[in-house]
Amino acid sequence: MNRILTMTGLLGSSVALMCAGCRAANDQAGVARTPVPPPADFYVATNGNDAWSGKLADPAPTKTDGPFLTLERARDEIRKLKAAAPATGKGITVVVRGGAYSFAQTFTLEAQDSGTAEAPILYQACPGEKVILAGGPTLPHDAFKPLADATVLERLASAARGQVIQADLRALGVTDLGSFPVKFQGVPAAPELFFNDQRMTLARWPNEGWATIAKIIAPGSIPRTGDKGNEGGVFEYSGDEPSRWKVDAGVWLHGYWCFDWYAEVIQVKAIDREKRQITLAAPSVYSVKQGNPSPRRYYALNLVEELDRPGEYFIDRANGLLYFWPPGPLADARVVLSTLKAPVVATKDATDVILRGFTVEASLGDGMEVSGGSAVRIQACEVRNTRGIGINVSGGTRHTVEACDVHDTGTGGITLSGGDRKTLTPGGHEAVNNHIWRFSTHKLTYSNALMISGVGNRAAHNLIHDAPHQAIGIGGNDHIFEYNIVHHICMETDDCGAYYKGRNPSCRGNVIRYNFWHNIGSPMGHGNAAVYFDDGDGGDFVIGNVFFRCGDPGKGSFGTVFSHGGHDNLAENNIFIECKRALGSAPWNDKRWKDAMGGTGPDGWQGRLLKEVDITQPPYTTHYPALVGFMDPQPGQVRVNRAVRNVITMCADVKSGNWQVDESENWVTDKDPGFVNAAKGDFQLKPNAEVFKRLPGFQPIPFDKMGLVKDELRPNPPKDAWTYEPPKPLPPFMKRPVGAPPKPKAGVAPVFKVARAAAPIAIDGVINPAEWNGADAAKAMLLAQDVGGSPAPATRQSRAWLAYDETALYIAVDSSISPDTKLDGNQWGADDAVEVGIRTARQGKTSPIAVLRGYGNGFVQFGATPNGNDEPKAMDPGGIVFKAARPEPGRWTAEFRIPFAMIDIDPVADIKAAFSLTVRKSREDLWLMWEGTRAHSYDVTQAGFIEFAR
């Protein structure tokens, strides 16, 4: 174990000073001790000695015998015992007495430390005593001194002067202070500070939340597309705070630079205080641009200038000094610095070992790690305040994580990886009865409470909550996720799901059953879900779940259970309560499927479906009959997801996309279907609930069995107080009312000439004058009328630019909005959008009107109507490309590329086309048009014409 108190020989004499403080801190805190500890073969204690026998629970009065000091000594003694005598069929128990133990290297159990099923090796914390295994030293109180350096004081905010103290870490033997790369995700392997078990905040601005980018000046390079330019993005900031920062001392910004599902920390290269512009030192993976509808956001970290409130700290790596503003009195506090860049406890190829009752904390790596071996059980442990994952199980078979509390971890809670995907042999790992929360404190996205991969692993009766992004990541086959409660997930991100799986159709057979999901997602524009099957994912089962206030449709297609591109998923016997849309999907067309099937690159399916595994051969074709012929060309195939015997109550919408929802097999209602007490959050169904009459075959859902359970390892499971508003029916999504046919307009219809594009146009939502023939305001199409044809105020008007080439029509629109407008919806009439109506003039009024609607959140709709009075019938947008951007809070811009083939226009033969263009401004309830139609906005017979300039 190499406890810091005994490490003078390893780290030098300076550690002895620190160690004396550590012992004093432990003695002052007082360790609660059980009067009669349980019987054990060996004991370990903070007042032990590795020269003793380890047979006594406390030191003998003569101080000649007693417990061991370290876990390593106990482990090594067990090795001797096993080598000297044959197996007796009796297990071996090590009891660790209360106190804090600091580790400079991982405590590891290997194959030679194994037990058997009948005689396991048990390491356990003494019942009734708190045993802390820490990946770093406890800092002595007398190591902290008042900050007196005038140079540093000058950089501090006035409120912090006299409050900040300092400690010389080098004098305490801590010399590896890590470093900050130019860019990274989460935090680097640099020490973190903890005060009374709470993680302190690396000095940052703003103190809470995010700053928003005022304007993107240059996106920089895009490494994701192979761009090797290495140019950092440039953006304009608001306010004066960034002007105070010293770039040469190092400034890093943590931001959602493009998408709201990918956060990254990047160093600042330069700050132009006159222009209020920040230049990043490296490109973000996807560049700096408006990839999702919400404003781009960031915060600055590791700045001594921003050490301005209790609980913040800063490490001066050049001089080895820690600056800290304590959140409370130092005298009674336990202050810990994490230094171990590895797990605190690990097993490697060990079998039948039990680790029970420990508190594991303050690691710069993972908390606990299990690799290889079989039947290792981690029971009733608390794992907290790690930089990495809480408990990482990788390989081996039948490992169990049970009744553990895992929280405030940096990059995830618990991982279970096991089983052979080629042979579909199960791993048999289980995570059961665990409480997992705040599990992505550093890496904000794709840091899961539970990451389950491989084959045949199970997670059950867990309570999971509080995360900015997803909570359950699934990779592989035949996993079971059941009897869990999941809430307040996806609260700060977009295009995400609490349960997420995707990009590999060979990964199937997974079951999501008997779980309670509530308060999932926050409306940010694109959309989010409780269960998200992404990028062609299929063959999974959602059965017997209860969903309450889950998901947001965002740009249109998302639902509480959402499928992007996939099919053959089943939703059966679920209850959806007050969800905006129960079932959502965005199906792929034949071309998208063909491209995916033929892909040979890193994201291609040839490797995933034929090399990683082979879905054309057993066991895949026998275990999953739906995969027979999966790789064969199937033009025109009807690809669907099925919904059977579901209750959809008080929801705004039932479904989108390719979900088959037969209302004779599903009950859609605004009624309470028969809950015991919905107002108090008891969604158990009464025995005589109406649903059993409405849906014959609907099975009672075991709501009372979901979540944590009381047992020997968890005698007092926490209970969440239900403080939420009772469910209520949501209004249906708004639609534009159909009016009476208008009277024909008098006068000559206007004609707008469309110039040929002089340069290629990149559809990214950003109107680049070099692409749009100069984007001259004087030559723009002016949208300056309301629907009745009356002039709109100049401050409300919008502009558009049109261009064409041999294959497509291009449209760009620049529109002002209120700075607090949310561009987070896709309902025509209710949300800000641009609408295009167009009809070829070649066949006159017998041709259909093509209608396109592009929303501020990036969603596009396409349809057609035979006339200007009927609602357009939705069609696949296919090759239409649409992007939206918000270059500043008071403006949004949009760009379309509309293939001529999709709107029945021949750019050579057709000179004119009937045309309407409308901007919907929802906050002002304004239909802003190029030509007021006095009718439906897409009624081109009441609008004008575009003419293709030759």
> pTM score, two decimals?
0.79
pLDDT (0 to 100) of residue 746: 64
**Tokens coding 502:** 């995707």
Percent of the chain whose predicted confidence (pLDDT) is above 90: 77
- 833-861 burial string, b = 16+ CB within 10 Å, else e? bbbbbbbbbeeeeebbbbbbbbbbbbbbb
Residue 9's pLDDT is what? Answer: 26
pLDDT, average across residues 173-196:
93
CA distances from 432 to 82, 471, 498, 835 (A): 32, 16, 18, 51
> What Å distances lie between residue 692 and 250, 513, 688, CA to CA?
64, 19, 7
pLDDT band (50, 70, 90) for residue 84: confident
State the CB neighbour count (10 A cutoff) for residue 638.
9
Per the CB < 8 A criterion, the answer to whether 883 and 857 are in contact is no
Task: Place 877 in a pLDDT band, splitting at 50, 70 and 90.
Answer: confident
Position 796 scores a pLDDT of 87
| Beta bridge pairs of residue 816 | 891
Secondary structure of 47-91 in HEC code, one letter for each residue: CCCCCCCCCCCCCCCCCCCCCECCHHHHHHHHHHHHHHCCCCCCC
* Of 722, 636, 614, 734, nearest in space to 677 by CA: 722
- Of 188-197, 636-645, 666-675, give the lowest mean pLDDT range: 636-645
Q: What is the mean pLDDT of residues 452-461?
A: 99
Q: What are phi and psi of 532, to 5 degrees?
A: -125, 115
* Residue 15: pLDDT over 80: no
In the CATH hierarchy, which fold is given to the domain comprising 751-948? Immunoglobulin-like (2.60.40)
The answer to whether residues 418 and 441 touch, using CB atoms and an 8 Å cutoff, is no
- Please say whether the beta carbons of 568 and 538 come within 8 A: yes
> Which among 547, 536, 488 has a CA at the least distance from the CA of 512?
547
Largest pairwise CA distance in the chain? 112
pLDDT at residue 13 greater than cutoff 50: no
Q: How far is CA 483 from CA 439, 458, 513, 529, 583, in A?
A: 20, 11, 7, 19, 21
Give the SS3 label for residue 777.
Answer: helix
Statement: residue 115 has pLDDT above 90: yes
Whole-number pLDDT of residue 922: 82
pLDDT at 1: 37
* Pairing mode, strands 496-502 and 528-534: parallel
Q: What is the per-residue pLDDT across 577-608, written as a single tens digit (0 to 9) for each?
A: 999 999 999 888 878 888 887 776 666 778 89
| Alpha-carbon span 534 to 556, nearest angstrom | 16
Summarize the confidence of residues 115-128 as an average pLDDT.
Answer: 97
Q: Rounded CA gap, 600 and 594, in Å? A: 12
Contact between 106 and 70 under an 8 Å Cβ cutoff? The reply is: no
pLDDT at 554: 77
Q: Binning pLDDT at 50, 70 and 90, where does residue 662 land?
A: confident
- The confidence score (pLDDT) of residue 831 equals 81
Whole-number Å distance between alpha carbons of 718 and 51: 42
Q: What is the mean pLDDT of residues 318-338?
A: 96
Tell me the per-residue pLDDT of 220-274, one tens digit each, with 9 for 90 and over: 999 999 999 999 999 999 999 999 999 999 999 999 999 999 999 999 999 999 9
Tens of pLDDT, residues 808-856: 999 999 999 988 888 877 767 778 999 999 998 776 677 899 999 999 9
Interatomic CA distance for residues 813 and 554, integer angstroms: 21
Domain boundaries, the chain: 141-203+307-333, 205-301, 751-948
Lowest mean pLDDT among 6-10, 181-185, 367-371, 500-504: 6-10
pLDDT band with cut points at 50, 70 and 90 for residue 315: very high
Rounded CA gap, 835 and 871, in Å? Answer: 13
